[in-house]
Structure 1
Amino acid sequence: MKDAVDSRVIVTPLPDDWVDEFLLSGPDEQVCLRLDGPVDRAALRGLVDEQRVRLADAGLTKGGTVALRLPPSLTYVATLLAAWRLGAQVSLLDHRLTQHEVDRALDRVAAQFVVEPVEVTGNRMRGYSDVIATVTARPTGRPAATPHALVQFSSGSTGASKVIARTAADLVGELDRYARLAEFPHRGDRVVLLASVVHVLGLVGGLLNGLHAGVQLVFPQRLTATGILAAVAEGDAPTTILGVPFHAELLATVEDPPALPQLVRMIVAGELVRPSVPPAFTARYGVPLGTMYGMTELGVIATDLSGTHWPSVAPAHGMDVRVAAGELRIRMPASPYLGLSDPTRFADGWLRTKDAAAHDEETGLVTILGRLDSQISIGGLKVDLTEVERTIAALPEVTEAVVVHDGEIEAYLALTDKSTVDTVEAAIARELAAFKRPRRIHVLAALPRTATGKIVRDSAALRAAAPHHP
């Protein structure tokens, strides 16, 4: 496999054979994926060739558009790579979306074809499925109007999803950033992948980086704490767990985990990590809980893989960042958005992340403070909802928390078995000034999450999930 192009200098499209050069090349016998059993590169190339013929027979050509609505599976991997080998633009739809959500997404991207399962085996707690898929033409679909290879949707945790597009050069540039991270998995290592391969962390940081770097990607047979640890224990090579903070919290609750000498670290991204989680995870497993900050628009932006800078992160290679008016902004050559979008998200070559941040000019470290819109005024007094949420989430009575402002400060919580609203309110009163305290507390069995595992922060969705909301 050849080295990736320097992420700072990609200005022209990659050659048509970029999938072969950057993702599929390598020794035939090298195991690159492990699901029910090992899959070597020769077998993967054969599966990609089969799917390429199926897509071409259906009518997909260079410059065409196809949407994949498939669960994590060999079929998903092979179909994605096959579509790219044909030169098509691929839109990824999470297989857990409802048909109504899928129809809306397909209308937005105008895909000419959609690949969907006709048969899926494997329960929902399994990390992968066995899939038989079909290719269906869409009469209203259109060829690609842009040179982008990949179209994704933002998580939708704070509202409507945005349509985000990236070129093949963008993806290879991100692979170069990963290659320059000394503590990220490299050739000969293993990654136990918990993050969805439809979304940017699991797709690029997991699947594409694994194929490019020669890292064996392991899909657990069960996405439970026991199943995840069993997947780690199956191999002797240095192993990293890659997921979201929810997975770290799950593993940190294991009372007596087995010895795992091959476990090097766990890396999480997607949302802020609760302060209690890194020390709890390290106490359980004796390895660091690394964190990454990224966005669907760019992929990985900054990291702290050793846990030494937490809660700060260091910008990855080629990332030009600045903080203006309290907001983190990142230089980009062009807008990543397709169709109508908020024009304030990208201006004058800078992506506005909508994340509040602090930037240490001396060390270069960035500290993500929460969403910019979490800064509100109550009776003329400034309140940071992220501070309120972190304080409440750190209470021993609380297992999950999200705080929003919907006319007044409201908290949506999941509690430990023996906790009550009265005990939580008393604890909050000890920790927060009166003007910062939630005026309403809603207790749920579990907070709603997006398909990527992020806690939903949209007020309307939270109200709908809360029992007996007035």
Structure 2
Amino acid sequence: DITILRCGPGTLTHTSPAPPPVDLHGDHLVSVYYTSGSTGTPKGVASTHTGWANRIQWMQAQYPLNPGEKVLHKTVLSFDDSAVEILWPLISGATIVMIPPGLHRDPRAILDHTTRHDIVALHFVPSMLTLFLDEITPHQQPAPTTLRYVISSGEALRPDLVAKFHDRLPPHTHLYNQWGATEVSIDSTSHLCTPHDHHTTDVPLGTPIANNEVLLLDHHLNPVPTGIPGDLYLAGTGLARGYLGDPRKTATAFIPHPHHPGQRLYRTGDRGIRRTDNAITFLGRNDTQIKIRGIRIEPTEIEHTLRRHPHINNAVVTTWQPTPGDYRLAAYITTHNTPDTPDEDTLLTSINTHLTDQLPAYMIPSSITLLDTIPVNANGKTDHKALPQPQPTTTHTHTQQPTTDAEKLIATIWTDVLDHPNPDIHANFFALGGHSLLATRIISRLRTTLTPDIPLALIFDNPTIHTMA
């Protein structure tokens, strides 16, 4: 079931030493990755060969791979980090080990493949890194011995996760925190995590990679001093052309460089602060965009979709954490309140169907709260602090409780992991707020209770308590 790609010495022994003629230039298009858009229209980031070549060459200089060493390719192709898992090993004569489809969500499978194939480099978002480290136990699942580089990006890296990493993995395995944007060839900063990061408030984003520039500016595009918060902008070789076929959005996000005429800056929408050691710390977003499990999401896009439902008058989407670190989406809605407005249970069922038909699973709120009015502050803007605490969406009709021992076991685990009391045995796991990381925790609990051979695919193929049982 394993596909291995090799590009080693000796493969091209009978060819000319001169480079082959290729009609490509550095400013030619190399990729288009689509990110969420605030009006329901995704933005296609048009990147160049120069930007990606610089990024991959920096990777090899920063994290040297030797010919024949192995990198695990486990990121889906629609996510930009998958390109790093392919191009980085290929330029160094290393080997790509491709994990079978579906197993990229299974931390036990990732650990098994890492150990079995002597993997030296892995890439994670922090939420998945947490689950990977949880699988490492000294007696049952020991730490892989060949692993040398672990790269974390896509979400804020927490100090407690750095401490867990250093506790579970040997000293020769290094953890790097990287930050950037698809608009600037994926990443622009890097930080080697050390035990000092266990005791900090925030793990720093690090310092700029080769030929990249990171600026902290105020609202007038003037540099802010060390220790003063500012807006994060990126510049340099990695900068994309812009958004494919959308000059208006390109002009908004890619602005003239205030200090270098003829060059541009990318407005990331992130806030940061520069420490005295020149490292940059992330302070969050200054717009509505959020990241959940490494995926960029525009809440306004979900709000736009909700308002297209025939019974919804207004909608606000935000995030919540039923447990620390478990970020989910929460929606608040008001209705037109006309005679044909259905009862709450029927309305919620209709809304979930509406969202499922138009949005990917990761953009569907796990909590939908019906309000009389959306609270606003003195400026007429949504008062997020006045919104009630979200609760998992549930309906109260036709609830069927578990009857068999298997259903009762699964229901108990679902209740603990989802923080959802008395789930209906026919309710869909994802409609109750489940996602791939929570699915992993459920399967891990079942493996511990029953048998380690239970596949992660069980819950994706059978997403109800009844069908799982």
Normalising by structure 1, we get a TM-score of 0.50
CA-CA distance at 1:329 after TM superposition: 0.5
- Structure 1 pair 274–259 and aligned structure 2 pair: CA distance change class (3 A): closer
Q: Does 1:357 align with 2:272?
A: yes
Matches within 5 A, 1:205-224: 205-221=84-100, 222-223=103-104, 224=106
Q: Does 1:148 align with 2:29?
A: yes
Matches within 5 A, 1:429-468: 439-443=388-392, 445-446=432-433
CA-CA distance at 1:270 after TM superposition: 1.6
Q: Does 1:260 align with 2:260?
A: no
Q: Distance in 2 between matches of 1:201 and 1:319?
A: 18
- Structure 1 pair 162–206 and aligned structure 2 pair: CA distance change class (3 A): same
- Structure 1 pair 260–405 and aligned structure 2 pair: CA distance change class (3 A): same
CA-CA distance at 1:350 after TM superposition: 0.9
Larger of the two Rg values belongs to structure: 2
Structure 1 partner of 2:233: 329
Which digits, 9 at most, give the CA deviation of each residue in 1:54-109, with x for residues without a partner?
Answer: xxxxxxxxxxxxxxxxxxxxxxxxxxxxxx998699xxxxxxxxxxxxxxxxxxxx
Structure 1 partner of 2:190: 303
CA-CA distance at 1:252 after TM superposition: 2.6
- Give the SS at the match of 2:130: helix
- Structure 1 pair 152–413 and aligned structure 2 pair: CA distance change class (3 A): closer
CA-CA distance at 1:275 after TM superposition: 4.7
Structure 2 partner of 1:244: 125
Give the unaligned 5+ runs of structure 2.
13-19, 198-202, 219-229, 257-263, 290-298, 300-317, 335-364, 368-382, 394-431, 438-469
Give the unaligned 5+ runs of structure 1.
1-34, 47-83, 90-145, 376-384, 415-433, 451-470
Matches within 5 A, 1:67-106: none
Matches within 5 A, 1:103-122: none
Structure 1 partner of 2:209: 316
CA-CA distance at 1:278 after TM superposition: 2.6
On the 8 A contact 1:197/1:207 being kept in 2, the answer is no
On the 8 A contact 1:201/1:269 being kept in 2, the answer is no
On the 8 A contact 1:329/1:353 being kept in 2, the answer is yes
Structure 2 partner of 1:196: 76
Q: Distance in 2 between matches of 1:166 and 1:346?
A: 13
- Structure 1 pair 339–195 and aligned structure 2 pair: CA distance change class (3 A): same
Q: Does 1:401 align with 2:288?
A: no
Could you tell me which amino acid in structure 1 is paired with residue 112 of structure 2? Answer: A
- Range with bigger deviation, 307-316 or 247-256: 307-316
Q: Distance in 2 between matches of 1:447 and 1:282?
A: 29
CA-CA distance at 1:242 after TM superposition: 1.3
Q: Does 1:161 align with 2:42?
A: yes
- Range with bigger deviation, 263-272 or 206-215: 263-272
- Give the SS at the match of 1:207: helix
Q: Distance in 2 between matches of 1:176 and 1:219?
A: 22
CA-CA distance at 1:184 after TM superposition: 5.7
Q: Distance in 2 between matches of 1:443 and 1:283?
A: 34
Could you tell me which amino acid in structure 2 is paired with residue 197 of structure 1? Answer: L
Could you tell me which amino acid in structure 1 is paired with residue 176 of structure 2? Answer: G
- Give the SS at the match of 2:287: helix
Q: Does 1:368 align with 2:282?
A: yes
Could you tell me which amino acid in structure 2 is paired with residue 151 of structure 1? Answer: V
Q: Distance in 2 between matches of 1:435 and 1:154?
A: 25
Q: Does 1:285 align with 2:193?
A: no
Q: Does 1:345 align with 2:253?
A: yes
- Give the SS at the match of 1:149: strand
CA-CA distance at 1:358 after TM superposition: 1.4
Q: Distance in 1 between matches of 2:332 and 2:21?
A: 47
On the 8 A contact 2:151/2:177 being kept in 1, the answer is yes
Could you tell me which amino acid in structure 2 is paired with residue 295 of structure 1? Answer: A
CA-CA distance at 1:367 after TM superposition: 1.5
CA-CA distance at 1:253 after TM superposition: 2.4
On the 8 A contact 1:175/1:209 being kept in 2, the answer is yes
Structure 1 partner of 2:345: none
- Structure 1 pair 363–235 and aligned structure 2 pair: CA distance change class (3 A): same
Could you tell me which amino acid in structure 1 is paired with residue 233 of structure 2? Answer: R
- Structure 1 pair 447–294 and aligned structure 2 pair: CA distance change class (3 A): farther
On the 8 A contact 2:153/2:179 being kept in 1, the answer is yes
On the 8 A contact 1:269/1:292 being kept in 2, the answer is yes
Could you tell me which amino acid in structure 1 is paired with residue 51 of structure 2? Answer: D
Matches within 5 A, 1:267-278: 267-278=151-162
- Give the SS at the match of 1:250: helix
Could you tell me which amino acid in structure 1 is paired with residue 390 of structure 2? Answer: I
CA-CA distance at 1:174 after TM superposition: 1.5
Structure 1 partner of 2:108: 226
On the 8 A contact 1:180/1:317 being kept in 2, the answer is no
On the 8 A contact 1:312/1:367 being kept in 2, the answer is yes
CA-CA distance at 1:245 after TM superposition: 2.3
Q: Distance in 2 between matches of 1:406 and 1:87?
A: 53
Tell me the percent identity: 20
Normalising by structure 2, we get a TM-score of 0.51
Could you tell me which amino acid in structure 2 is paired with residue 306 of structure 1? Answer: C
Could you tell me which amino acid in structure 2 is paired with residue 212 of structure 1? Answer: I
On the 8 A contact 2:204/2:279 being kept in 1, the answer is no
Q: Distance in 1 between matches of 2:135 and 2:51?
A: 39
Q: Distance in 1 between matches of 2:113 and 2:78?
A: 21
CA RMSD of aligned residues (A): 4.2
Q: Distance in 1 between matches of 2:159 and 2:324?
A: 13
Could you tell me which amino acid in structure 2 is paired with residue 303 of structure 1? Answer: S
On the 8 A contact 2:80/2:182 being kept in 1, the answer is yes
On the 8 A contact 1:322/1:359 being kept in 2, the answer is no
Could you tell me which amino acid in structure 2 is paired with residue 41 of structure 1? Answer: C
- Structure 1 pair 159–318 and aligned structure 2 pair: CA distance change class (3 A): farther
On the 8 A contact 1:358/1:367 being kept in 2, the answer is yes
CA-CA distance at 1:258 after TM superposition: 1.9
Q: Could you say which structure has the higher strand fraction?
A: 1
- Give the SS at the match of 1:262: coil
